[in-house]
Structure 1
Amino acid sequence: MGRITDAVKHLLIINVLFFIATQLLGDQMYDLFSLWFPKNEHFQLWQIVTHMFMHGGFMHILFNMYALWAFGTPLEQIWGRNKFFFFYFSAGLGAALIHTLVNYYYFNEGMQALLNAGFNQANIMDIISQGKFDTAWQNAIPQSTLQNFLGAYMTPAVGASGAIYGVLVAFGMMFPNAELMLIFLPIPIKAKYFIPGLILLDLFSGVTGFSVFGGGIAHFAHVGGAIFGFIMMWYWKRNQFKNNRWD
């Protein structure tokens, strides 16, 4: 992992440039390049890709870029630049798809609950399109349903984490006995146990709403990236493409 490989280097540079631009321009960057819910007025098709280069803060980009370097470099050394790019963006797009599908479920669940409670759909859409909500909704439907509904519509997704989770899965399948550690749990754990455990923790957090890593995390995007990463690795292994370089 000494030399930074070409694809990893270019991804690092683009992410850093986006982060600097975000610090300079703020909300304008988030409005344009984060992944918004498709029914939100801020949504644009290019956000399916550009959200992978957006980050919410310094620690967010630091952890993601460290993981990209640490786990992506050995994969690119084996696969070559083009195959790594294909895998990385496919995992990121898969993460965006799963995240958006889950948000559609939350949005439709919340909307139906509000309609059943007697509220008008046009009025609901008018309120949330302004980034607001009616306090009467709090007493009309379950709090978790309301939070998921508002979060799905109003909160954009940012970060390379979905693609990174795909990379983690690939690394774990190719180097299952490599020993990894969490910063707050300095105990070496083999990748074949560590990475599935991390994904299950994200799945648990996504389903229950309880996150040991804090709030504001798109857990289902992580799970989506991992699923698509696993599917690609399984397909490549089955068709004996895993060790072929795409130079």
Structure 2
Amino acid sequence: MNRITDAIKHLIIINVILFFVPQLLKLDLTNVLALHFPKNEHFGFWQYLTHIFMHGSFAHILFNMYGLWAFGTPLEKMWGRKKFLFFFFSAGIGAGLIYTMVNYYQFNGIYEHFINAGLNNSEIISILESGETNDSRVVENITQEQFNKITSLFNTPAVGASGAVYGVLVAFGLYFKEAKLALIFFPVPIAAKYFIPVMILGDLFFGMTKYSVGNIAHFAHIGGALIGFLLAYYWKQNQFKIH
């Protein structure tokens, strides 16, 4: 069994503290630390960092911390603490930025329908904050599906280290291609070089279709995986080069 390394140990401790202590104190930090949509009044730039340490359920934090330990340990041993932490936070922050970009694209597509229906920005924001309206301009020009989508984008904050962990997972796959991995619901071991691309393609499929199960930020996973791949690939290609 892998001995827990320093950076991973401290990351897990911080995540566990921020999950359990606010619950014990009956303190809701969601509006401050979770990643909100930029037009939401609770949005803050620091949330691209702090959302990494917030989790929505015990299962959520359990799977993320297990993934961080299982796939991050060999990377920290190989790279060292400082380089691993740089990688982890780069993937996590990058995941949040890409997630926001995708949400902004989807948001603006529907927002234009509100503008074309004759509403101004303050009216639209007020409607989105309330999550409901009887305004005839909205009822006649915006479908229920569009309304549900834009209110969800506006009001639902993102939490979790999943994006950063996906970056770690991709880096693990680049350096340990033949390592055998398995899922609980598909317990047959598969080499990392096949397993990880399938997981990412699954997120891409669910993120672009209506078949997603639960409130999962698929594009945050993809964003973290992309940043993790670019950084790990660059390091792998250049680690033996002398400048």
TM-score of Structure 1 vs Structure 2, range by shorter chain: over 0.9
Which residue number in structure 1 is paired with residue 176 of structure 2? Answer: 175
Which residue number in structure 2 is paired with residue 245 of structure 1? Answer: none
Whether the aligned pair in 1 keeps the contact of 2:95 and 2:223 (CA below 8 Å) is: yes
* Aligned residue-pair number: 239
TM-score by length of 1: 0.91
Deviations along 1:44-71, one digit per CA (max 9) or x if unpaired, are 1211111000000000000000001100
Which residue number in structure 2 is paired with residue 222 of structure 1? Answer: 221
Which residue number in structure 1 is paired with residue 6 of structure 2? Answer: 6
Is the deviation greater in 137-146 or in 174-183? 137-146
Whether the aligned pair in 2 keeps the contact of 1:107 and 1:150 (CA below 8 Å) is: no
Which residue number in structure 2 is paired with residue 55 of structure 1? Answer: 55
Which residue number in structure 1 is paired with residue 235 of structure 2? Answer: 236
- Percent identity of paired positions between Structure 1 and Structure 2: 58
Whether the aligned pair in 2 keeps the contact of 1:109 and 1:149 (CA below 8 Å) is: no
Which residue number in structure 1 is paired with residue 188 of structure 2? Answer: 187
Determine the C-alpha separation between the residues in 2 that align with 1:110 and 1:181.
39
Using a 3 Å threshold, how does the CA distance of structure 1 residues 125 and 26 change in structure 2: closer, same or farther? farther
TM-score by length of 2: 0.92
Report how far residue 210 of structure 1 moved.
1.3
Which residue number in structure 1 is paired with residue 103 of structure 2? Answer: 103
Q: CA RMSD in A?
A: 1.8
- The answer to whether residue 28 in structure 2 is matched with residue 28 in structure 1 is yes
Which residue number in structure 1 is paired with residue 123 of structure 2? Answer: 123
Whether the aligned pair in 1 keeps the contact of 2:174 and 2:233 (CA below 8 Å) is: no
Whether the aligned pair in 1 keeps the contact of 2:163 and 2:221 (CA below 8 Å) is: yes
- The answer to whether residue 124 in structure 2 is matched with residue 113 in structure 1 is no
Q: Which amino acid aligns with 1:63?
A: F
Report how far residue 2 of structure 1 moved.
2.1
Structure 1: gaps of 5 or more residues: 243-247
Determine the C-alpha separation between the residues in 1 that align with 2:187 and 2:13.
30
Other structure's SS at 1:28 match: coil
Whether the aligned pair in 2 keeps the contact of 1:138 and 1:146 (CA below 8 Å) is: no
Task: List aligned pairs for 1:83-94, cutoff 5 A.
Answer: 83-94=83-94
Structure 2: gaps of 5 or more residues: none
